[in-house]
Amino acid sequence: MSDIYKFSKETHTHTLNGKNLTGCTTVLNVIAKPFLIPWAANMTAGFLKGKLDDIKKLDQNGWETLLDEARKAHTKKKEKAGDYGTKTHKTISELVASVILVDGYISKETTSEEKSIQNFIDWAVKNKVKFLASEINVWSKKYFLGGICDIVCELGGKRWVADIKTSKSGIYPENFWQCAGYDLMLQEQGDPPADGYLILNLKENGEFGEERSVSNSDNIKAFKACLDIYRLKAKINNKLK
């Protein structure tokens, strides 16, 4: 019997033969993100700073209420950033999917009122990027993983697995490890190995960043190491229950 893979948009879960697969990005949660701590603290401080005049008039109950709101400031900021990220990914995936139906290239006449999208268009046109796939659901029976790969493209005569990031914090090594996970799954499904991994950072303020890595073997080793830690942690947690 052939394997049955499914993806639920509602719960954002990947399943294989009825069993939940581990998400590629979930695996990378074992990596510490120390920059998030000062960021959350700054969100709280910024929220309270804007309320200085109100604080002087508050009684104890009002102060407690304000503190609860301050604690949630970073969560609200994250949700807003998530909305921008979702919208940006959707717009780019639709644009890329439309050009794949023609010849894979974005026309230089293509424009967008959104600065981040226009940056993406300008980058693709300048580098003569040929898009091969967009928003691909990928999975692995060997590693029991699932994920959605943003882009596969040709650039400079090489094949790249690419990922779109919209974070203000920039590009990190683990972003390439995520691409390595997608590459492993794509290969298991019959695609040739990528020549390299590509990260595009489209910030909401209009800033644009691009980084490439051709250290595929190191990136794959790093992803597999994260996967080992994730599996071991899950095993230990189950034993402790």
Map out the domains of the chain as residue ranges. Answer: 9-27+85-240
How far apart, in whole angstroms, are the C-alpha atoms of residue 7 and residue 52?
A: 48
CA dihedral sign, ordered 16, 22, 24, 25: positive
Per-residue model confidence (pLDDT) at position 195: 98
Q: Topology of domain 9-27+85-240, per CATH? A: Lambda Exonuclease; Chain A (3.90.320)
DSSP of 110-159: ---SSHHHHHHHHHHHHTT-EEEEEEEEEEETTTTEEEEEEEEEEETTEE
* 197 CB-contact burial (10 Å; exposed 0-12 / middle 13-18 / buried 19+): buried
pLDDT exceeds 80 at position 76: no
* 126 CB-contact burial (10 Å; exposed 0-12 / middle 13-18 / buried 19+): exposed
Q: Which tokens go with 33? A: 């993100």
The distance of Cα 161 from the centroid of its chain, to the nearest Å, equals 13
Contacts from 84-88 at CB under 8 Å and sequence distance 24+?
84/166, 84/204, 85/166, 85/167, 88/114, 88/116, 88/117, 88/164, 88/166, 88/202
Per-residue model confidence (pLDDT) at position 80: 58
pLDDT digits (tens, 9 = 90+) for 84-133: 889 999 999 999 999 999 999 999 999 999 999 999 999 999 999 999 99
**Is residue 152 a contact partner of residue 132, using CB atoms and an 8 Å limit?**
yes
Per-residue model confidence (pLDDT) at position 94: 96
Lowest-pLDDT range of 5-14, 50-59, 84-93, 201-210: 50-59
How far apart, in whole angstroms, are the C-alpha atoms of residue 171 and residue 167?
A: 8
How far apart, in whole angstroms, are the C-alpha atoms of residue 4 and residue 16?
A: 6
How far apart, in whole angstroms, are the C-alpha atoms of residue 36 and residue 24?
A: 20
Share of the chain above pLDDT 70, in %: 82
| Partners of 148 in beta bridges | 137
